[in-house]
Amino acid sequence: MNMLTSTDLTAALASGKSPGELGFVMPIETAHHTACWMAWPWDGHEDNWGSGLAAAQENFVRVATAILRFEPVRVAAHPDHASIARRLLPPQADVVPLAQNDHWFRDTGPLFVNDGNGRTIGSNLIFNCWGEKFPDYELDAGIGAALVRHLKLPLFQSPLTGEGGGLHVDGRGTVITTETCFLNPNRNPGMTKADVERELFHTIGARKVIWLPGDEEEWITDGHIDGMLTFTAPGKLLFERNPDPANPRHRVCEENLKALRGQTDADGREIEIGLIDEAYMVEPETDTTALSYVNAYIANGGVVVPSFGTPTDAAAQEIFAKAFPNREILAVDMRGICHAGGGIHCMTQQQPA
């Protein structure tokens, strides 16, 4: 299998082989990237931004500009809005006309898996708009496969419904996800944990899946894992908690942390857990406001971390600096976008080298 060309891989996938069976695995986010993919925000869901669109686009540009300090940024933009994206984005950012509805590209874009020898497969989950939460998502349902075709990569279409924000990987076959997301009947009705684990092996090379309970109250994503934790290295992660017992998030965080403690990865090592407080002192602007620091983007040589104009920002940046001593920590104020339910990680998708 080590001598398979891209054409051979496409033929192998067409014959019924999966990326997992071919020895491919989704790399850890700390691995080197060819580029960061993002998707330009516009009102693709029945005026979902309204009067806040300009602020969202300005915040998007700040995130893209920060990531450009470390690696190439490529922005998929609806052809009707690509000229606006081109005008507002830095000239170093590539704008690729591809039809899409929303800018949460972690969830709508494809996943990428490789075999460690420079070969990459685009591995695509079914996107149903977080369990049919919003109308008008047909373009987002097709953007993953469209991007893989644009990149001229072999494409694997998974039968599993879900989103990239619902998965975190260590690059060695360990996957962490939540029961409230991938086992939700609004995504994969009738599927058991064993069923999902089997498909995650085929789709991204999962050898072990760690299940956390998730968050039943988080109504858009149904408790995505990328608002709870992030891997800093194989066997090591940062977990986000809420230290205020009066805050409903406190109980949710503690339940998930309890489920995580003592877990071992695919290589049999107990996972080392570092703790970080979310931006719990901020009064949420909406019931979907995302105040997560671990919802960050790990770039080549840097980490782009959310900030919210609150005292916990400095402490979070210090924790990231200790967790990533060889990377520059760059903070971006997310108050123009976070009220819509996501952060920097939600907006981005790394293409591995």
Active-site positions?
346
Choose among 166, 233, 176: nearest CA to 208.
176
State whether the Cα torsion 272-174-118-73 is positive or negative: negative
Task: Produce one character per residue of 153-190: b if its CB has 16 or more CB atoms within 10 Å, e if not.
Answer: bbbbbbebbbbbbbbbbbbbbbbbbbbbbbbbeebbee
Alpha helices in 230-308 (DSSP H): 248-260
How far are the Cα atoms of 7, 162, 163, 310, 346 from residue 64, in angstroms, in the given order?
33, 25, 21, 22, 13
Residues 147, 149, 154, CA angle at the centre, nearest 5°? 115
Rounded to whole angstroms, the Cα distance separating 248 from 29 reads 30
Q: Indicate the SS3 state at residue 330.
A: strand
Residues 254/278, Cβ–Cβ less than 8 Å: no
Q: How many CB atoms lie within 10 A of CB 251?
A: 12
Choose among 33, 20, 30: nearest CA to 68.
33
Residues 49, 138, 87, CA angle at the centre, nearest 5°? 50
What DSSP element (H or E) covers 21? none
DSSP 72: -
Rounded to whole angstroms, the Cα distance separating 93 from 89 reads 7
Q: Indicate the SS3 state at residue 27.
A: coil
